[in-house]
Amino acid sequence: MTIKNNNKTVLVGLSGGLDSTISALLLQQQGYTVIGVHFQLWHDDKTEKSEKNLPENKCCSLRDLMLARTVAEQLNIPFYVFDFRERFKRDIVDHFIDGFKNGITPNPCVECNRSIKFGYFLEKMEELGCDAVATGHYIKNEFNTEKNRWEISAGKEIHKDQTYFLYTLTQKKLQHALFPMAPYSKDEIREIALQNNFKSFAQKRESQGVCFYAEKSHIPFLERHIPEAFIAGDIINIHTQKKVGNHNGVLHFTKGQRARIGGMITPQYVISIDTKKNIVFIGNNTDLFSESVEIFNLSWTMSKLENNTEISVKIRHGGESMNALFQYTNTAETEAKLLFSKPVRSLTAGQSAVLYKNNLLLGGGIMK
């Protein structure tokens, strides 16, 4: 069971891409009253000051806005632009930069879904007296009448399972969230676009990666915003505590990556970085494995887990599921420990550990 379309009005986020376009089309065909909305999220002033001729961001370009407006015109639906730039900078971009300053690796897509797409967007829905919001995520959101709860799981396009990024959606949010992509594969969505005169969208390349910088890597963005993190420093072996080399900025290094240093007999890997002392610590591959991890800022899509529950965990989008035992570590039940059934490589502070059981998304937290 999903949200019934009886005289329901839905705000659909139109990015100018294929998935959001077909989301609006499908909902209109299902009888919903559809209103198209485009988000203004980010403009990086530092790219204008750069001597390099940088391409536009992956989101929020003038071209994206015009494409979204064209979709609304073709569907003959109202169209509005919401200016979330101040909030996006504060909640997403500044959070991203501050995380790296403190030596952790944030997940901006998780925070964007928490704060923007299913935060401020829902607030706008209430202000306008609408009934639901819809996005182009490939996930399934169904109401279980027997258990009286909304449940999230992967949609048909298993290779585009985006549940990892949506573990912060609470029951209150889920009752107002529609995901029209759930029953379809990506190829089927392209075919629907072709059949409904959206040929250019069917052929459009997908944008991938973080949306608020143009490059494939986050390094150039961080170099523009925190240049002080890109000065030379020491590389130290965690076992001997001796200097074994030099680096040109700690943020060039990520936990788990191969550290190519001359004179080393065995392969060495980045174990951690210290942004305050400007040090990169390296060690053996075995040093990267952990049997447990602590998580905080817990969020639940359904009810809280019972203590000592066996669950499945994903520590990265697209990663394999791992079995673990869930245990609370404080009386407020806002933090927990995950005890894995076998050691796990490269658990990264700042990233999300997302929890599942019987293929249902339970919730998650941020790894320490």
Residue 48, Cβ density class (10 Å: 0-12 exposed, 13-18 middle, ≥19 buried): exposed
Biggest CA-to-CA distance, the chain: 71
* Catalytic position from the list 59, 109, 112, 130: 112
- In the chain, the amino acid numbered 322 is M
Encoding tokens for residue 320? 């394999």
177-178 β-sheet, strand order:
79-83, 33-40, 9-13, 132-134, 177-178
**Alpha-carbon span 70 to 133, nearest angstrom:** 20
**Alpha-carbon span 251 to 272, nearest angstrom:** 11
Encoding tokens for residue 200? 């250019």
Q: Verify whether residue 109 is a known catalytic residue.
A: no
Q: Which residues are catalytic?
A: 112, 211
